[in-house]
Amino acid sequence: MNEEIVHETKENPLEVIFDKNQVIIGVVHCLPLPGSPKYGGESPAEICQRAIEDAKKYEKAGVDGLIVENHGDIPFLKPDEIGPETSAMMTLITSEIKKEVKLPTGLNILANAARQSLAVAKATDSRFIRVNEWVNAYIANEGFIEGKAADILRYQSWIKADDVKIFADVHVKHGSHAIVSDRSIPELTRDAEFFGADGVIVTGYRTGDAPNKEEIIEIKESTQLPVLIGSGASLENIEDLLKYANGVIVASSLKEKGVWWNPVDYDRAQSFMEKVRKTG
């Protein structure tokens, strides 16, 4: 089967999950989980309650979906070093969110823990995962991070999680891409598509930084998959970003004082979504 036919028959994951082709996904940044350096002994119920409160604010503001992240676990471990306590807590948190909020949910267990994310998604009937390094390799804050496509597609088949869609970063933030610097961003984008991603994500250099317009366009023109902005979306730039992308994954600018570790600020989230609706 040639590559063109594969592209033509691949379903649009945004339409499948959200019943639309341009989406806003709010990030639920979990408090530090048991086993992480900044965990302060909070009970599972307390950790879940903070996540539920954020999820409810996002839902009330009108976002299309949620992605649950263990962002409080800084500094992150490499995938093979992450203990079962993290997957257990992420399963509990996501399950409790889904009891209270009726939005499609996804998982991103950091750093690059695609297998754990997929397992939790399967256990919680979540709809998608984010994988920061799906193919190739780069030097991240955690060290050398390799692509997970070959392993995860086999694992996905094994646990019958074919309905869980995979959103893969291209040229992801928080790292150096010197290893693949002899290959262009269009080539890296086509790699993600060729190796089975359902959508691609473009980011800035770090959490809260927007990608430049030229890179968004470059990635968009290199794939038939939906393109999402994975960092830096704000009230000030959302209108411009949605001219080029199929949606955004947003958190920092919707938090109190615009700081990612703070709770979601409903007024900020509401204003953001009002701007999105006017843009649409």
47-72: per-residue pLDDT in tens? 999 999 999 999 999 999 999 999 99
* Arithmetic mean of pLDDT, 19-30: 97
> In angstroms, what CA-CA distances link 95 with 49, 102, 113, 122?
12, 12, 19, 11
Is 50 contained in some domain?
yes
Report the alpha-carbon distance of residue 254 to residue 274 in Å, rounded.
13
Report the alpha-carbon distance of residue 65 to residue 25 in Å, rounded.
5
207-258: per-residue pLDDT in tens? 556 888 999 999 999 999 999 999 999 999 999 999 999 999 999 999 999 9
Is 139 contained in some domain?
yes
In degrees rounded to 5, what are phi and psi of residue 152? -75, -35
Burial of 257 (0-12, 13-18, 19+ CB in 10 A): exposed
Is 2 contained in some domain?
no
- The CATH number covering residue 58 comes to 3.20.20.70
Non-local (6+) Cβ contacts of 43 within 8 A are none
Quickly state the pLDDT bin for 190 (edges 50, 70, 90): very high
Is 102 contained in some domain?
yes
- Domain with 137, as residue range(s), is 20-275
Number of neighbouring beta carbons within 10 Å of residue 215? 16
- Domain count within the chain: 1
Mean pLDDT of the chain: 92
Is 15 contained in some domain?
no
Is 125 contained in some domain?
yes
Is 1 contained in some domain?
no
Is 14 contained in some domain?
no
pTM of the model: 0.93
